[in-house]
Amino acid sequence: MHQPQGVEGGIGDQVFTIVETMPSFIRQRKPRYPSSARRAGIEGKVFVSVLISEKGEPIKAKITKREPSDQKVFDKSAIEAVMKSTYSPGIQHGKPVKVWLMIPIRFMLR
């Protein structure tokens, strides 16, 4: 079955990776800095892919990249933050659609 570029799933259940208007934050939840990372002086960056529904609701999230790559201490906090944030939906051909959104989250000590 041939599918348009940037689309996953079948007809009626399309999930996009690129749309005309990408989802954006309405309210971005700030991630909690893990106390173990704070005590150890660890900083890092996590890239979270979150699936946003046609209503702008986060459906599921997964870690797609870490910097440094072996540092998993920030994963839970990053996923919680994107899942508790609110979004505008992605728009394709004037209609809201499901779309994967990549969100970079930097953890820096101050």
Is 1 contained in some domain? no
Structure tokens at 106: 């930097």
| pLDDT tens digits along 2-28 | 334 454 443 457 999 999 999 999 999
What would the pLDDT profile of 21-51 be if each residue is shown by its tens digit?
A: 999 999 999 999 999 999 999 999 999 999 9
How many domains are there within the chain?
A: 1
Query: What does the pLDDT look like over 62-74, one tens digit per residue?
Result: 999 999 999 999 9
Is the pLDDT score of 75 beyond 50? yes
Q: Which has the closest alpha carbon to 84: 22, 17, 24, 30?
A: 30
Residue 2 is assigned to a structural domain of this protein: no
pTM value is 0.85
Short-list 44, 101, 104, CA closest to 74: 44
What residue numbers bound the domain in which 34 lies?
7-107
Q: Give phi and psi for 82, each to the nearest 5.
A: -70, -30
Please report whether residue 80 resides in a domain. Answer: yes
**How much is the mean pLDDT over the chain?**
91
- pLDDT of residue 94 exceeding 90, the answer is yes
